[in-house]
Structure 1
């Protein structure tokens, strides 16, 4: 019976069915919340999870958990929601002409006329200001990392115009929270954080290549580049490379960060995280069909669980 329910006015094509924005949010707020992708929470998870990776590994590395870390975790969650919203708003402002030509994105608030460009700019600024308020509660190193994060965020929407690898720029932006959260705990950025950052970028290449295949045909018509178009029918082989790189780099980061600080049991448990994450990514590969958009979206959304898996193992290692 749910499939026969009327589509809410203005709902975006790839929004989660029955999401809270289209069901419960006040009507006047819905276009702005859709602009921030609040009706599609997977992006917030994919921005937040690397922050929690960085924080958990930083605590494991120095063996010095503090009550302040609880606020870092909460602040990262609020900040991820706000900055994902601001980043998506910026993306929709810069891509408004492209979005109107793509079947999946033409229902977004700007091309569909729900929000003007001026309104979108104001909304983006408001979200950035609120996120800045959260950032200023952290230490100076984390604040500096937060400011620097604006560079990859600003560049990303333009990347698909000049490179076949825009997913690399998305990875640079979406995994920056690893460096920020590590700095918020330790006061600096260490080598294990950088290695973990590279693991996060490899993971982003994996899941966003899957996501990009939904638009591959439309992207070809309007001249937008992506790894999905670059790899084509060879995508599965490339995804295997990204899987191996993710697991190897994350394991290396854990060994480098925790080897001298934790027991053998804790290290083994922590290293089981990237191993289990790799199996979840392999499960996605087994179900991959680049011609089935519904399956592609399902696999992309499954990456919330993919990212939570190593976090759980590292957190267990913290208490051993």
Structure 2
């Protein structure tokens, strides 16, 4: 199934140039797929392959409108070099995962804050760049118990990862006010989909569950299974990126939730997988993870009203698609 037949933009992309940092990663490589499918003039990827995979972009190597640069956002000169001739930037490069940030806060800070500041600085100093979109996070809502989560109603961070993402937003807002360098931050809510690695030590829950059902093993749940999330299929996140990059009504730094505006708990995910696969696998429960938010549900009114985002794929549709993808790529 080609996810990206739907068109999230107007006009012709053949005269436009794009940089996707972290473009060999999960969301980044899906963005690349969309842009290549729709004939972008140039799609350049910057990735150090520490958290992304060459296999995610291998099919694009050799295309005349695709470039891959192996490099690190923690090097300012690299950031500046990769931006030459670029109009639109989608900054996806980051170290995700709450548990990883708890285990290694120094590296998480180095990549997510120092690397982000390098990219902001390079964008500010590169005249060709019209806009930068960056991967923000729902973790920024922290300990706030308000549901749904609305932009501007944040709590205190619960992990080093959440701190880094909150700092990104503060830096982006300051750059907007001080330098006129306006960006858009997309607060992703638990994005899942094809090209998300289930074997990564810090893999997300959906690929882990899918792998368990494919292999016929008991899925592991942290906590009692009543933890709920606004799981968001990756094509919805791609839509948000494309519409944000090409949005012309930007006069300041903006933050948008990217989600479906609905929630399901982990026990419910298992039930859907049982129905999808016909396998009656029962989960094993273990201790909750430190730093995890118990419940998450997004308001998507702001992004709908501002840039015309719509949740194209429901959680159930996305789960069926991604399970099929794992089954065929196992």
State TM-score, norm by structure 2.
0.28
- Higher relative CO (Cα under 8 Å, sequence separation at least 6) belongs to 1
Q: Which has the higher helix share?
A: 1
Q: Which has the higher strand share?
A: 2
